[in-house]
C-alpha cells in the first residue's frame, strides 16, 4: 500500500544565504501509513507547522524527497488529496455554514446539487445539521471549528492535515472536540497529521507522536502510543495514558538537552 506521506531527508531553509537564514527543518524522514493518526509536537520554532505546510505544498522543501499519496506534494494538492484545518477556523463570513463546506467542492467544479448533498452529509457527520443556514458569526468557537473540519473533509480526502485546530478552544470544548475527531476518523478511515503543543492532546489522539526540537528543526523521537481504538473518558484517567504522557514529556526534555527538569518552552502539560 502507498504511504500517505513519505518524507526522506526533507529540509527547509528560509532566507537562504542571507543574514536572516533560518534552518527551519533539517533531514526529516517520516513515513505515515494510511489510516494512521500522527501528531507532531515540539516547542515553538521546531518546525512542526512548517513540516505540515510542506506536506500541504503550501511551502516547498529546499532539499530531500517528499511524496504525498505516492505523488509529488504539488500533484496531491492539485488533486485535492488532502483537507486542511487551522487554529483559526477561517470560515468565510459572507457564506453560510453549508456554503462554507461547499467551497472546496466549488473550486473543483462540482455541480450545485452534488455539492449540496455532500454538505448535508458532512453536517450530519459533525452533528451540525440544524445549523446549515446559519452564518459563521452566529456559531460558537467549537462549532466554527467543527464546520472547518467538515469543510476539510468535504471532498472525502484520504489525508487530513491539522495545525493546532483546537488551540483556541477552552479545555472542555477541546476534550469534546478530540473525542468527536476520533469518532469521525474511525468512521471515515482518514489519515491525520495533527500539529499540537499539548502533550495530553497528542497522546490521547495519536497512534504515534512525533517529537521535534528547534534550532535546527528536526525529529528527535517517535513515541508509539498504542492506547487502542476504543478511547473514551476513561482513557484519560488510565495509567497507560499517564505513562505515555511521561514518555512524550521525557522525549521532549531529551530534545532540549541540558534543560533538565525545567518546563520546555511552549509546551502544555495539562
Partner 1 sequence: MNIAAARRNAINVVIPIVFGAAIVALWQFFVDWRDIKPYILPTPSSIGHELVHSIHLLRAASIVTAENALVGMVLGIIVGTLLALVANRFRFLSELVTPLSAAISAVPIVVIVSILNNMFPLGSQVARRLMVLIIVFFVVFVNVSRGLRQSDATQVELMRSYAASEQQVMRKVRLPNAMPFLFTAIKIAAPISVTTAFVSEYFGGTQDGLGQKIPAAMSSSKFPLGWAYVGAACAVGLVFFAVANILEFVAVPWQRARSSR
* Contacts with partner 1, residue ranges (CB under 8 A): 56-58, 77-78, 80, 82-84, 86, 88-90, 92-94, 103-104, 107-108, 135-138
Nearer to partner 1, 78 or 112 (CB): 78
Reference 105, options 90, 89, 120, 125; nearest CA is 120
Name the CA dihedral angle for 145, 235, 4, 198, rounded to a multiple of 10 degrees.
60
Q: How far is the CB of 97 from partner 1 (least distance, A)?
A: 13
Q: How far is the CB of 140 from partner 1 (least distance, A)?
A: 12
Give yes or no for a contact between 84 and 104, defined as CB atoms under 8 angstroms apart. no
Nearer to partner 1, 132 or 135 (CB): 135
Q: How far is the CB of 92 from partner 1 (least distance, A)?
A: 6
Q: Which residues pair with 67 in a beta bridge?
A: 6, 72
- How far apart CA 74 and CA 53 sit, in angstroms, is 11
Nearer to partner 1, 75 or 235 (CB): 75
Nearer to partner 1, 132 or 186 (CB): 132
Q: How far is the CB of 88 from partner 1 (least distance, A)?
A: 4
Q: How far is the CB of 91 from partner 1 (least distance, A)?
A: 8
SS3 annotation, 83-149: EEECCCCCCCCCCCHHHHHHHHHHHCCCCHHHHHHHHHHHHHHCCCHHHCCCCHHHCCHHHHHHHHH
Nearer to partner 1, 10 or 89 (CB): 89
Nearer to partner 1, 135 or 259 (CB): 135
Q: How far is the CB of 262 from partner 1 (least distance, A)?
A: 33
Residue 75 burial by CB count (10 A; 0-12/13-18/19+): exposed, middle or buried? middle
- C-alpha distance from residue 26 to each of 48, 155, 167, 238 (Å): 12, 33, 26, 36
Amino acid at each position: 500500500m502507498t504511504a500517505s506521506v513519505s518524507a526522506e531527508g526533507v529540509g527547509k531553509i528560509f532566507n537562504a544565504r542571507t543574514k536572516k537564514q533560518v534552518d527551519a527543518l533539517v533531514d526529516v524522514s517520516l513515513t505515515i501509513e494510511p489510516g494512521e493518526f500522527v501528531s507532531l509536537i515540539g516547542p515553538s520554532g521546531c518546525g512542526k507547522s512548517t513540516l505540515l505546510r510542506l506536506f500541504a505544498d503550501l511551502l516547498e522543501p529546499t532539499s530531500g524527497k517528499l511524496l504525498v499519496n505516492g505523488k509529488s506534494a504539488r500533484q496531491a494538492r492539485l488533486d485535492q488529496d488532502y483537507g486542511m484545518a487551522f487554529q483559526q477556523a477561517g470560515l468565510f463570513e459572507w457564506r453560510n455554514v453549508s456554503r462554507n463546506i461547499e467551497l472546496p467542492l466549488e473550486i473543483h467544479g462540482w455541480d450545485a446539487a452534488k455539492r449540496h448533498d455532500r454538505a448535508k452529509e458532512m453536517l450530519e457527520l459533525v452533528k451540525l445539521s440544524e445549523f446549515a443556514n446559519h452564518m459563521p458569526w452566529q456559531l460558537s468557537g467549537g462549532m466554527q471549528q467543527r464546520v472547518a473540519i467538515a469543510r476539510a473533509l468535504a471532498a472525502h480526502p484520504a489525508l487530513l492535515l491539522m495545525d493546532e485546530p483546537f488551540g483556541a478552544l477552552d479545555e472542555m470544548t477541546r476534550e469534546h472536540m478530540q473525542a468527536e475527531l476520533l469518532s469521525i476518523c474511525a468512521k471515515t478511515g482518514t489519515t491525520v497529521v495533527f500539529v499540537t503543543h499539548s502533550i495530553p492532546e497528542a497522546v490521547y489522539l495519536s497512534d504515534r507522536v512525533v517529537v521535534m526540537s528547534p534550532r535546527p528543526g528536526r525529529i528527535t523521537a517517535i513515541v508509539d502510543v498504542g492506547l487502542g481504538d476504543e478511547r473514551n473518558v476513561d482513557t484519560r484517567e488510565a495509567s497507560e495514558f499517564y505513562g505515555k504522557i511521561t514518555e512524550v514529556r521525557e522525549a521532549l526534555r531529551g530534545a532540549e538537552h541540558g534543560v533538565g527538569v525545567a518546563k520546555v518552552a511552549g509546551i502544555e502539560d495539562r
